[in-house]
């Protein structure tokens, strides 16, 4: 029997096949799904902000940030037997929920940008992306197949 493991905001978790990871209602946050196909180990981080270096204070939760969050997720997966070199990534979220110009509201875009830079730094290839635009997304990341299932309120579910 496969379980569904929920990842909260600014949190990260891993599962092995046949379990599934889920994170609900990503807005400007980005869901980063990492998968080791050989070992069938899946990881999901719910990233809230781009860079830990920009934190004013309150950086005790390193999982919030793209750089420190992804680093921790990779370490966790490696400690469970995954190989960093064999990982691929799928990402979702980073929407702009309110349509105005100021930088606060482009946080989604900045999150996507930071996530991509961090993944590139580790040499991890992004094989699917459901990002940007202006709507919320719920992500299920299936540990047995590495398929990312993206649901939104008014749109068809995507399996990528």
Partner 1 sequence: MSIQSIEQLNETHIDVLREIGNIGSGNAASALAELLQCPTRINVPSVRALDFENAVNYLGGPENIAVGLLVNISGDISGMMLYIFQEDFASRMTERLFGSRIKNLMDMSEMESSLISEVGNIMGASYINAIASLAGMRIDVSVPMLTADMVGAILSVPAVEFAKVGDKVLFIDDSFIIDDSEIKSNMILVPEMRSLDTLFGRLGVSV
Residues in contact with partner 1 by the rule CB under 8 A: 8-10, 24-29, 48-49, 55-58, 61, 64, 95, 97-100, 102, 104-105, 107, 134-138, 152-154
CB of 59 to partner 1, least distance (A): 10
CB 83 within 8 A of CB 41: no
Instruction: Give the bridge partners for 126, in sequence order.
Output: 89
Nearer to partner 1 by C-beta: 28 or 87? 28
Nearer to partner 1 by C-beta: 124 or 150? 150
CB of 157 to partner 1, least distance (A): 13
CA distance 153 to 143: 24
Nearer to partner 1 by C-beta: 31 or 143? 31
Nearest C-alpha neighbor of 149 from the set 17, 19, 16, 22: 22
Instruction: Give the bridge partners for 8, in sequence order.
Output: none
Which residues are CB-neighbours of 84 under 8 A, at least 6 positions away?
74, 77, 78, 122, 124
Active site members: 29
Give the DSSP letter string of 125-151: EEEEEEE-TT--EEEEEETTT--EEEE
Nearer to partner 1 by C-beta: 23 or 124? 23
CB of 12 to partner 1, least distance (A): 15
CA distance 78 to 36: 10
CB of 127 to partner 1, least distance (A): 24
């Amino acid at each position: 029997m496969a379980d569904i493991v929920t990842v909260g905001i600014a949190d990260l978790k891993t599962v092995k096949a046949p379990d599934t990871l889920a994170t609900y209602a990503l807005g400007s946050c980005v869901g980063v799904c990492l998968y080791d196909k050989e070992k069938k180990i899946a990881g999901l981080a719910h990233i809230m902000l781009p860079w830990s270096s920009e934190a004013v204070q309150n950086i005790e939760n390193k999982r919030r940030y793209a750089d420190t969050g992804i680093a921790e997720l990779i370490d966790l997966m490696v400690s469970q037997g995954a190989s960093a070199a064999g990982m691929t990534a799928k990402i979702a979220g980073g929407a702009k929920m309110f349509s105005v110009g100021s930088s606060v509201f482009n946080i989604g875009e900045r999150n996507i940008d930071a996530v991509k830079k961090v993944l590139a730094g580790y040499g991890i290839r992004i094989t699917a992306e459901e990002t940007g635009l202006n709507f919320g997304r719920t992500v299920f990341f299936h540990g047995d197949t590495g398929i990312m299932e993206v649901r939104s309120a008014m749109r068809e579910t995507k399996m990528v």
